[in-house]
Structure 1
């Protein structure tokens, strides 16, 4: 079964390379640095979508990690048993089961008007939609992945370790900081990686809220609060409109780039986990 899974992944990679070969041969590595995406003029550059994908994913991760860890610590250590704990744990897990298009609708009707109000106060063009809005939605969507794994890991910390720390006079905060967090850090980081993988590939909610434009702003503030695009959203928007070979090949190459970015980030994460485990 493991061999079959490996073959499937290799098959996906080969298919993506084969189908995107026309633009790989024509554009080469310059496809990654091209800043213009103009199918009418037959000009293709992945840079705006690469930046949009990485920005939305990492901003969502930065926002979600404190909430994920706080939920994990509360339900794993402070309130591990009882009806309230079970209710909160089930609610957190239920968040992961909500379809992404529902998050997209909620974002359009609830979050976007709120973001517009703040943008007006901050003297920013009040788009409402954009990279920051998409990141907020992504953050809500990926919290359950790290939180659920964190709850399980914290509850599995051996009692003698915690009891020994309490016997030495440690407070609950000191037990969490000096015993629980070091013991579970590898697993908690694995949960963060799982969340990042979910954020990188998210399509529908991001497509509804990011604004879907290949034009990047001139400053970081304009990029962050302005409309953008991710590799997944541009594929979802334009795949059915690809009416010639190079256009279709460019979209498939975007899928290949997304595939490779996900693999590279996961390999880096695995390396970090291995290092932590050895230490």
Structure 2
């Protein structure tokens, strides 16, 4: 296919090939499909590897892998289970999410709707930089500064709020579930804040101005327009932060007391996680021990997958409202 184009010099018409739009669409569709298939193939390969490496250890295990609290895969009769590790992973990540999400949403609202533009730009860069800080830096900060500092606040909580199961117990230490949860909350806060900020900035300006024109205060406008519009994005951001908290390794490995007990008393010397246990035990593990650690990694993989699927379902329930106000 060709078209006629007049030259500016001689006035003669020359033939030049026209751009074939169909070929470009076909190539882009093939590339996009290949990218999606590659992602699924990588996830499937990871799952197959974890299952293949975990089966020998699970067969040699003499206890129930899902409920056993002991972790002794290198013993003459291997006894190990994921019960305490899964409990610690879920509890510490949930506490971190509870602490980080309100602060992150507040930071995002301040940057998007309250701060002057110059200050908002600076704060936006700071939040993005915090999200890029390596986890080992957070872990070293937590182990050297937060662990000794948190002892007195923990004693205060134990003394006056000890009737709450989370803050109860007879022993208060710095290396605890509470300290690890604080470090995880600080780590996931920039991720939640950055994504929430971008979501809040996408709220239609006309809707905000309409609410203000009807006499709403700024807070009422945010409550009636901004927060409902951004709820799916905030949920997605929170679930992304939860995924990082559950998979965090080095930071919590430096702080957790590495015990294998199930306890809701977060101020005492109890707590561990799947990722921290893998980091602490992989170097000295035997072949069977490495298989056990890989099996625990498979459980973490499945938990993360389940959390992401649940988040997708929650966001999908809000999709109708998001489309309506867009």
**Common fold: TM-score over 0.5:** yes
RCO higher in structure (CA 8 A, sep ≥6): 1
Summarize the Cα distance change of 1:80–1:199 in structure 2 as closer, same or farther, 3 Å threshold.
Answer: farther
Query: Please, which of 304, 308, 312 is the counterpart of residue 270 of structure 1?
Result: 312
2:111–2:124 CA contact under 8 A, matched in 1: yes
Structure 1 or 2: larger strand share? 2
- Select the structure that is richer in helix: 1
Instruction: Check 1:120–1:187 CA distance in 2 against 1; reply closer, same or farther (3 A cut).
Output: closer
- 1:1-21 deviation digits (Å, cap 9, x = unpaired): 111111000000000000001
1:43 alignment counterpart: 79
Contact (CA 8 Å) 1:212, 1:227: kept in 2 or not? yes
Residues 184/23 of structure 1: CA separation in 2 closer, same or farther (3 Å cut): same
Distance 2:141 2:127 in 1: 17
For residues 228-278 of structure 1, give each alpha carbon's deviation from its aligned partner in whole angstroms, at most 9, with x where no partner exists.
210001111111211232x22111100000000000010011011111113
Q: How many residues align?
A: 274
Give 1 or 2 for the bigger CA radius of gyration.
2
Matched, 1:200 2:246: yes
Answer whether contact 1:119 1:125 (CA < 8 A) is retained: no
Shift of 1:216: 3.8
In the alignment, structure 1 residue 81 sits paired with structure 2 residue 117: yes
TM-score normalised according to structure 2 size: 0.80
- Which residue matches 2:149? 114
SS at the partner of 1:13?
helix
Which one of 120, 123, 126 corresponds to residue 172 of structure 2? 126
The equivalent position to 1:105 in structure 2, one of 136, 140, 161, is 140
User: What is the aligned counterpart of 1:215 among 247, 252, 261?
Assistant: 261
Task: Tell me the residue number matched to 1:33.
Answer: 67
Deviates more, 1:30-39 or 1:264-273: 30-39
Kindly indicate whether residue 260 of structure 2 is the aligned counterpart of residue 250 of structure 1.
Answer: no
Distance 2:186 2:268 in 1: 18
* Aligned residue among 24, 36, 39 for 2:58: 24
CA offset at residue 40 of structure 1? 4.2
RMSD: 1.7
Task: Indicate if the aligned counterparts of 1:56 and 1:134 stay in contact, CA closer than 8 A.
Answer: yes
Aligned to 1:6: 40
For 1:163-204, what per-residue CA distance to the aligned partner results, in whole angstroms no more than 9, with x for missing partners?
111111111011000001111111111111111111110000
Q: Which of these residues, 147, 152, 165, is aligned with residue 193 of structure 2?
A: 147
Give the secondary-structure state (helix, strand or coil) at the position aligned to 1:117: helix
Report how far residue 57 of structure 1 moved. Answer: 0.4
What's 2:275 paired with?
232
The gaps in structure 2 that reach 5 residues or longer are 1-34, 160-169, 322-326
- 8 Å CA contact 2:176–2:256 kept in 1: the answer is yes
Structure-2 change in CA distance of 1:72 and 1:29 (3 Å) = farther
Q: Displacement, 1:78?
A: 1.1
Q: Which moved more, 1:113-122 or 1:64-73?
A: 113-122
Contact map agreement 2:73 2:292 (CA 8 A) in 1 = no
Query: What is the CA deviation profile of residues 65-87 of structure 1, one whole-angstrom value per residue up to 9, with x for unaligned ones?
Result: 110100011001112611x1111
Match of 1:136 among 165, 179, 182: 182
Q: Tell me: CA distance 1:187–1:113, structure 2 relative to 1, closer, same or farther (3 Å).
A: same
Partner-residue secondary structure (3-state), 1:33: coil
Q: Which runs of 4+ in 1 moved over 6 A?
A: none
CA distance in 2, matches of 1:120, 1:146: 30
TM-score (norm 1): 0.93
